Amino acid sequence: MAIELRTPRQVEEMRPAGRFVAEVLTRLVEAADVGVNLLELDALAHAMIRDRGAESCYIDYHPSFGAMPFGKVLCTSVNDAVLHGLPHSYKLADGDLLSLDFAVSVDGWVADSAVSTIVGTPNPDDVRLIDTTQQALAAAIAVARPGNKLGDISAAIGDVARDAGYSVNTQFGGHGVGRTMHGDPHVPNDGRAGRGLPLKPGLVIAIEPWLLASTDEIVMDADGWTIRSADGSRGAHSEHTIAVTDDEPIVLTARD
């Protein structure tokens, strides 16, 4: 496991990427409305990337599980899709649960964040699901301090999820962030407190709890990217890039 710790100066250099990712996600949530096509949201994100002079982390991304390079700059996961949703021609409908995941490089530093929102009329079950991912993320960030272990972050997520009655899938989770989008360490969404990597100042990670309403089993679409619940239940996803410091963790992708 090759884990790089960032200097305080490097963490400061990562702030513009975090601010830009937050700005784009805020704009996308505002734009997501009934009748808006997922491809329009991707085009909006693409235009903002060009205007900023940033570089997409997704468009040429082709890990071993991907059937092809991603080809878009934004993940758009709708309803029973929860992760890596490949934008396609679909017009958002009233009541859709939309998860947006976005990562870019600005001046050589990466930031990665995700948010779930409801289009039009909210369903209370969807609101609760989204709220739980946000609470799990907040709980995980709160323990991202020197003296704690990586397992404390994972346990915080799992505890919030289980207390709310949800099961947890650990196949996909958080990860190190720096010059590239995905690095060590892997940050599972469940674990045992007091175990694992000691948290040290300069560790920069993306923490990303995601939950499905009534299962922890997933299936993948034929596109080789879009991950859905195995039982058709809805999913939600919340993510921030954070830096461990000598004091409070810094949420680099915090949205206003």
As annotated, the binding site includes: 84, 101, 112, 175, 182, 208, 239
Q: List the binding residues for substrate.
A: 84, 182
Which residue in this structure is represented by tokens 């939309």? 98
Per-residue exposure over 190-206, b if at least 16 CB sit within 10 Å of its own CB, e if not: bbebeebbebebbbbbb
Which residue in this structure is represented by tokens 């570089």? 55
- For 189, residues 6+ apart whose C-beta sits below 8 A from its C-beta are 136, 154, 157, 158, 161, 168, 169, 170, 173, 174, 208, 209, 210
Q: State the first-to-last Cα distance of the chain, in angstroms, to the nearest integer.
A: 34
Q: What's the distance, CA 158 to chain centroid?
A: 16
The single-letter DSSP state of residue 170 is: -
The structure tokens listed for 18 are: 């975090």
- For helices 8-31 and 38-52, what crossing angle results, to 10°? 140
Q: List the binding residues for a divalent metal cation.
A: 101, 112, 175, 208, 239
